[in-house]
Structure 1
């Protein structure tokens, strides 16, 4: 670390301490002083942008985030996401993969405690409840693919329901956490829209728990999943519901998807929705986050098996059912 970078780092630490105290005016002054010590430090530009944003100084925040992107066009800190939410950048069809990877690499050590204890996350449980009626009809042996597997919460919740489970996640550190549980046959660090050859080709069940929220356009991920599935397989997933077609980016930096857009993507990619329920996925700032829990089957087998899977008048057939 250079002398200037060391000085900048110390000043930025002070600025962050002032932010914690709610003194944004002083924090801005100290963060600017940090930049005067090292104008090439991209993290300091991003932090200044964040402080400006907290202080309600939108235009200054935009300028700081843009300066950050000049220094780090890969955007590991997610400045483009901030610019989008500030109305200063066009909506993309996904969050930057390098940003998502860095976010969850950093999050990995505290991921489960944060999700389970602080946010009351129960996405895997809702997915199991939704897909349970369809499991008996799936061909055995049942191999499962866990998209965005994280630390392996899905593997734990679905234990006993499968013959083998594989997982893929952008974050190597999350993968390492999942590996220690000894549940997964294969774990791969990779992108769910372009899955590596290390994974199988004949999955009877694909699970996507709280991962598609980081994609706007769902078609690439759905196509990639379908290509890995057995005929007659199921896919079960969670989404955050949105009123903007086809999707918008929520304040929590996750995409929200319009119901009609999801139906169209599913049909385009070879799926038909058989269950679409509502449920509370987690808490956020003390408020429940309601999402959709969707079960879909590959279309080729759906028409043949629908009468066995869903009896007339079965409440599981109705869109808008609520899971608890």
Structure 2
């Protein structure tokens, strides 16, 4: 660490302490002093942008986030997401992979405690409940592919329902946590839209719990999943419910998907929807986060089968049932 970076780091620590105290004016002054000591420190620019946004100085926040992106085009801290929410950047069709990877690498040690205790997360349980009526129709042995497997919550909740389970996640540290549980046959750090050859094929069930929320356009992930599945296999997934077609970015920095858009992507990518319900996926700042819990069947020839398909109907309403 250079002398300037050391001085900047100390000043930035003071700025963050002032943020905790709610003194944004003083925090901005100290953060700017940190940048005067090291103008090339990308993290300091991002932190200054965050403080400006908290203080309601959105124009200055935009400038700081843009300067961060000049210094770190890979955007591991998610400045583009912040710019999008501030209305200063066009919406992309997915969150930056480097940002998502860094986010969950950092989150891994406290992931389960945070999700279960603070956010009341129930995604895997809702998916297990939704797919249970369809499991007897699946061929055995049943192999599951867990997309965005994280620390392995799906593997634990689905225990006893499969013969083997493999997982893929962008975050190597999340993968390490899942591996320590000894549940998964194969675990791979990779992108669910372009899955590596380390994973198999012919899966009878694909599970996507709280992972597709980081993608706007669902088609690449759905096509990649379909390519790994047996004809007639099932995909069960959660998505945050959105009212903007085809998707929008919510304040929690996750995408929300419109029901009609989901149905169109499913048809395009070779799936028929066999179950679609609304339910509460978790809490966010004390407010329930409503999501779709869906089961879809892979069609071998991509011909769209309309029998048993849940009609989109009113895009802002549930399609016949609600899970609690």
Q: TM-score, normalised by structure 2?
A: 0.95
Q: Give how far 1:102 is off.
A: 0.2
Q: Does 1:30 align with 2:21?
A: no
What is the aligned partner in structure 2 of residue 42 from structure 1?
A: 42
Q: Distance in 2 between matches of 1:232 and 1:303?
A: 13
Distance in 2 separating the partners of 1:299 and 1:186: 26
- In the TM superposition, 1:268-307 aligns within 5 A as 268-300=268-300
Alignment of 1:1-324 (within 5 A): 1-300=1-300, 319-324=319-324
Greater share of helix residues, 1 or 2?
A: 1
Q: Is the 2:272–2:304 Cα contact (8 Å) retained in structure 1?
A: no
- For 2:321 and 2:2, the matched residues in 1 are separated by 59
Shift of 1:303: 9.3
Task: Give CA-to-partner distance per residue, 1:283-314, whole Å, 9 cap, x none.
Answer: 0001111110000001349999x78x99xxxx
C-alpha separation in 1, matches of 2:274 and 2:93: 26
How far apart in 2 are the matches of 1:198 and 1:300? 23
User: In 2, distance between residues paired with 1:75 and 1:138?
Assistant: 42
More displaced stretch, 275-284 vs 294-303: 294-303
Superposed CA deviations along residues 21-51 of structure 1, whole A, max 9, x for unmatched, are: 1110000000000000000000000000000
- The CA distance in 1 between the partners of 2:10 and 2:104, in whole Å, is 26
Query: Could you tell me how far apart the structure 1 residues matched to 2:241 and 2:322 are?
Result: 13
**In 2 relative to 1, CA 49–320 (structure 1 residues): closer, same or farther, beyond 3 Å?**
farther
CA change 1:39–1:173 in 2 (3 A) is same
- How far residue 192 of structure 1 moved from its aligned partner, in angstroms, is 0.0
2:267–2:304 CA contact under 8 A, matched in 1: no
Supply the distance in 2 between the matched residues of 1:195 and 1:26 (Cα, whole angstroms): 47
Helix, strand or coil at the partner of 1:236: strand
Larger CA deviation: 295-304 vs 242-251:
295-304
Distance of 1:300 and 1:103 partners within structure 2: 36
Q: Aligned partners of 2:127 and 2:46: how far apart in 1?
A: 37
Q: Please, what is the CA RMSD of the aligned residues?
A: 1.6
- Structure 2: 5+ residue stretches without partners: 311-317
Partner in structure 2 of residue 314 of structure 1? none
Is 2:270–2:304's contact at 8 Å kept on the other side of the alignment?
A: no
- CA displacement at 1:320 relative to structure 2: 3.9
Rounded to whole Å, the distance in 2 between the matches of 1:323 and 1:253 is 24
Q: What TM-score does the superposition give when structure 1 sets the normalisation length?
A: 0.95
